[in-house]
């Protein structure tokens, strides 16, 4: 596969490189902002599950006017530095990471918390949805500690079977909850974004990291998800409909007639998990396991045990 074929297949991947974004995901946040004006009046934000950092790039450029805002970015993976972005490397489901994030907002809460977290997909849909929901709940837990009243929370969700339960949980804390699908997010993907505006926790709610977040006693209707009490949130597509369709392939010739020129990625990943495999492959040490049925009898007999 040539290095230009991905540019042809994925126009947002190509545009991201050409516009200096570290990942195509930048367009998702930009299109969500077009629809919901997420950045209006925002000076302090948290970017959870932030690597390689395109959402942090967007935030640092868009908030607080001329990038004078304050952004805290968190991820399991190391991320190349970004001006104006404070980085924390850690697991957002861990208490220690949550405490470190919360420390930065003591006495000066955040206006916006975003989470584009995605677990490593196993291919088992129920497991993947469950893992995704756990990330979202960890993010919501952190949000309840750092958000100011009226603040906003945006998080990736998988629109699976049990997504209405997540909406109900979010509705306990926000006056408005919507499900949004930016145009740069492929139709073929079950990914969407919960856009929760107007942080308004139940009266008497005290965020407490030592207790499970969603104490159902705050909402007596919480578990009644059938019939009229089932919460159905509005579904909104966002991003100009005349903009590029993420499920289509586009020719490499640019629309203005200028010649296509390959652009390398803006920021190659630092210490990616596959690095060890690449090093082993280069040295020829990445051997395939030899199954006895693939070997001639004489070789099997001589293989070390
Ligand atoms: N929004 C990012 C951007 O624009 O560059 C892309 C985020 S990427 C789709 C998902 C990220 O979630 C990965 O970098 C992964 O390391 C991170 N992640 C997954 N589980 C996590 C966890 N438990 N704690 C922190 N980060 C996590």
Query: How much is the pLDDT for 102?
Result: 96
Give residue 211's pLDDT band: very low, low, confident or very high (50, 70, 90). Answer: low
ipTM of the complex: 0.99
Distance 98 CA to ligand 1 centre (A): 15
Mean pLDDT on 189-193: 93
Our answer to whether residue 156 is catalytic in this structure is yes
Distance 52 CA to ligand 1 centre (A): 8
Atom of ligand 1 nearest to the CA of 77: 16
Instruction: Kindly give the pairing relationship between strand 191-199 and strand 44-48.
Output: unpaired
Contacts of 278 (CB under 8 A, 6+ apart): none
Give residue 91's pLDDT band: very low, low, confident or very high (50, 70, 90). Answer: very high
CA nearest ligand 1 atom 17, residue: 49
Atom of ligand 1 nearest to the CA of 117: 12
- Spot the catalytic one: 28, 62, 156, 181: 156
pTM of the model: 0.85
Query: How much is the pLDDT for 295?
Result: 59
* H or E stretch covering 229: none
Query: How much is the pLDDT for 256?
Result: 63
**Residue-wise pLDDT tens digits, 249-299:** 888 876 666 678 888 888 887 877 778 888 888 888 877 666 666 655 554
Mean pLDDT on 36-44: 96
Kindly provide the b/e burial profile for residues 37-61, where b requires at least 16 CB atoms within 10 angstroms of the residue's own CB. ebbeebbbbbbbbbbbbbbbbbbbb
Q: Determine contact, residues 54/25, Cβ cutoff 8 Å.
A: yes
Give residue 125's pLDDT band: very low, low, confident or very high (50, 70, 90). Answer: confident
Query: How much is the pLDDT for 268?
Result: 80
């Amino acid at each position: 596969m040539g290095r230009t074929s991905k540019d042809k297949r994925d126009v947002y991947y190509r545009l991201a490189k050409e516009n200096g974004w570290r990942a195509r995901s930048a367009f998702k946040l930009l299109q969500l902002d077009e629809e919901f004006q997420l950045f209006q009046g925002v000076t302090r934000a948290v970017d959870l599950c932030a690597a390689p950092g395109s959402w942090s790039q967007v935030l640092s450029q868009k908030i607080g006017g001329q990038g004078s805002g304050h952004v805290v970015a968190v991820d399991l993976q190391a991320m190349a530095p970004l001006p104006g972005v404070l980085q924390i490397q850690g697991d957002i489901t861990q208490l220690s990471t949550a405490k470190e994030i919360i420390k930065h907002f003591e006495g000066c809460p955040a206006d916006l918390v975003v989470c584009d977290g995605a677990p490593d997909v196993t291919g088992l849909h129920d497991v993947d949805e469950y893992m995704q929901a756990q990330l979202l709940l960890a993010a919501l837990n952190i949000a309840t500690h750092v958000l100011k009243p009226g603040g906003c929370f945006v998080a990736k969700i998988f629109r699976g079977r049990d997504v209405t339960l997540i909406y109900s949980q979010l509705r306990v804390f926000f006056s408005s909850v919507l499900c949004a699908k930016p145009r740069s997010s492929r139709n073929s993907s079950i990914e969407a974004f919960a856009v929760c505006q107007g942080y308004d926790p139940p009266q008497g709610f005290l965020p407490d990291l030592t207790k499970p977040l969603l104490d159902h006693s705050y909402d007596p209707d919480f578990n009644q998800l059938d019939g009229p009490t089932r919460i159905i949130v509005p579904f909104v597509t966002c991003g100009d409909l005349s903009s590029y369709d993420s499920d289509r392939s586009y020719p490499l010739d640019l629309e203005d007639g200028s010649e296509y020129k390959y652009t390398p990625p803006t920021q190659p990943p630092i210490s990616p998990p596959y690095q060890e495999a690449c090093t082993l492959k280069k040295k020829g040490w990445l051997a395939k396991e030899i199954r006895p049925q693939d070997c001639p009898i004489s070789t099997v007999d001589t293989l070390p045990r």
